[in-house]
């Protein structure tokens, strides 16, 4: 799980790709300075871009693949590897297990604590995909509720 970090910041990528304007980026940075928080979440909250666009840019920026979860099926066996409270805490969901590797979708691919906790909890190597927080929350609701 060693992505290649790009030199550009997420805001620059969003402006370059014409997803947001330079003025919108300035506004979001002002809000971030006053209130704190992740710039991507602020841009979404301000209505300047969708979660999907932010996730796709994060995927590009850090080299993690983007995976929309809408049509993804997750087995009960895989869900049993990670408790629901861990999924909710880190905004992630396990997707698949192949050999000694667990594939997860997470909204913040740079959350080292989440990855380290998962490795310790499962004794597996973790492969990361980027997804939106709302996709992950919907999947947690769908899969963990039906398996209670």
| CATH code for the domain of 136 | 3.30.300.160
Total domains, the chain: 2
| Number of residues that this document lists for the chain | 148
3-state helix, strand, coil in the chain (%, to 5): 50, 15, 35
Find the mean pLDDT for residues 4-13: 75
0.85 exceeded by pTM: no
Q: Does the pLDDT of residue 24 top 70, yes or no?
A: yes
* Predicted pLDDT at 2: 46
Among the listed residues 94, 144, 92, the one whose alpha carbon sits nearest the alpha carbon of residue 122: 94
Residues 135-148 have a mean pLDDT of 86
- Per the structure, the complete domain to which residue 114 belongs is given by 76-146
Burial class, 93, CB count within 10 angstroms (exposed 0-12 / middle 13-18 / buried 19+): buried
In a shared domain, residues 38 and 90: no
Q: Indicate if 84 and 113 belong to the same structural domain.
A: yes
């Amino acid at each position: 799980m060693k992505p290649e970090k790009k030199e550009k910041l997420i805001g620059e990528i969003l402006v370059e790709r014409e997803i947001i304007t330079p003025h919108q980026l300035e506004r979001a940075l002002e809000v971030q300075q006053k209130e704190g928080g992740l710039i991507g979440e602020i841009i979404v909250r301000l209505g300047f871009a969708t979660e999907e666009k932010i996730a796709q840019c994060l995927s590009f920026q850090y080299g993690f693949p983007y995976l929309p979860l809408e049509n993804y099926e997750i087995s009960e066996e895989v869900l049993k590897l990670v408790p629901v409270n861990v999924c909710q805490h880190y905004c992630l969901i396990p997707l698949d297990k192949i050999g000694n590797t667990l594939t997860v979708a997470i909204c913040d691919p740079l959350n080292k604590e989440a990855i380290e906790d998962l490795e310790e909890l499962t004794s597996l190597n973790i492969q990361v995909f980027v997804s939106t927080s709302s996709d992950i929350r919907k999947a947690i609701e769908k899969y963990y509720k039906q398996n209670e």
